[in-house]
Amino acid sequence: MPLTDTAIRNTKPRPAPFKISDGGGLYLLVQPNGSRHWRLAYRFAGKQKTLALGTYPMISLAKAREGRDRAKRLLADGTDPNAQRRRDKLALKTAGDATFKAVALEYIENRRHALTSPYADQFLRRLEADIFPHLGTRPIAEIDAPEMLDVLRKVEKRGALEQARRLRQSVGQVFRYAMITGRAKHDPSTALKGALKPKGRQRHHTPMPRDELPRFLRTLDGYDGDPRTALALRLVVLTMVRTTELRAARWEEFEHLDVREPLWRIPAERMKARFEHLVPLSRQAVTALAELRALPGAKSNGFLFPSPSRECCMSNNTMLFALYRMGWHGRATVHGFRGVASTILNEMGFPPDWIERQLAHDERDEVRGAYNSAQYLPGRRKMLQRWGDWLDEVKNSGGRVVVLPSADAA
């Protein structure tokens, strides 16, 4: 027989706990001290379970029945009411002060083991520059697509279309992390796909014209800026590594600089393809390293190119701005030297596999990639030495044409 408020109020406690039923699994548990607790008995996955619905009279008979009906609907959908309650409590707890900045910093920290350090730092700087000032203190669950679009439009107005596109991807990663940790219900960045301005035709890294190499090399020798910057440019040209791989290089990565086969061992976490990369060093590269080591403060923080303003390495744009200062604005990029070297070494007749391995182009097969870190090392050592020698010949040519030697001459 269903309960009534009158019947509940008239119920007297007994020496032992007892139940009075309302129907549908809902009952009132009366304790010896007179307290009354609503409970719902139900079965889920073949097991008998109990759901607490509150204390009478704080939870009235009508409210207890509403709780029973909600639980029945969850059961009909195949959801355990107790499990749903735990999820709701977790969402309430985590969403209370979950700002976009707090979630983003947590996401980056949790992902550092899977990201290269330069990429993680770049990811954070991108958010610090354009997202945190506008949305950092906002509860992440309250940020919607129009609000996010307004922030990205500010980046577009600077003409940074590619930056806006990358920011949309970055905030999407943060929102998806917030969703799986119970602090957001949706990812507004997905609604912005197609809303941003297209980046237009892709601009590739501009290689330096070959006929300007002699003048560049001579200008580099007479560069009147920071000598570290000039040496960084010289090492980029000689080793064919990426800018980020060189500027974050540490002295501990270099081996056997004073013996016959000097080597630069770049750890996997600093490589784009996430595999260790071995760079054989020519005599010219070893000389540049010796000059670098002789500069004041050469080992101040372990980096070959320490930042003068913080405990880190040279800025990403330092070498590029040096190129501008030397007169190659819009006519060459630092990354473009890799293309110059690749073209010329191919014309010399060196095996393409040696060149591709020296460029550390992505190796998609993990086993093969790990094996390839040292593959062709003797041949690549000869190739880079021939490259260094040829650059010296070009620099000292005095304007005469220097004929490309064949790979066999190495």
Decide: helix, strand or coil at residue 218. Answer: helix
Active site residue 371: yes
How far apart CA 118 and CA 368 sit, in angstroms, is 25
Q: Could you say which of 112, 272, 283, 395 is catalytic?
A: 272
Active site residue 85: no
Q: Could you say which of 168, 183, 228, 242 is catalytic?
A: 242
CB 282 within 8 A of CB 385: yes
What residues contact 182, with CB distance under 8 A and at least 6 apart?
A: 87, 90, 91, 94, 95
Active site residue 361: yes
Q: Could you say which of 338, 357, 381, 386 is catalytic?
A: 338
Q: At what angle do helices 336-348 and 377-395 cross, to 10 degrees?
A: 100
Cβ burial 322-355 (10 Å sphere, 16+ → b, else e) = bbeebebeeebbbbbbbbbbbebbeebebeeebb
Q: Could you say which of 89, 361, 368, 400 is catalytic?
A: 361
Active site residue 63: no
Neighbours of 207 (CB within 10 A): 18
- Cite the DSSP H helix spans in 253-317: 283-293
Q: Could you say which of 43, 256, 371, 400 is catalytic?
A: 371
CB 108 within 8 A of CB 124: yes
Decide: helix, strand or coil at residue 264. Answer: strand
Q: Could you say which of 49, 166, 335, 382 is catalytic?
A: 335
Active site residue 338: yes
Please give the positions annotated as active site: 242, 272, 335, 338, 361, 371
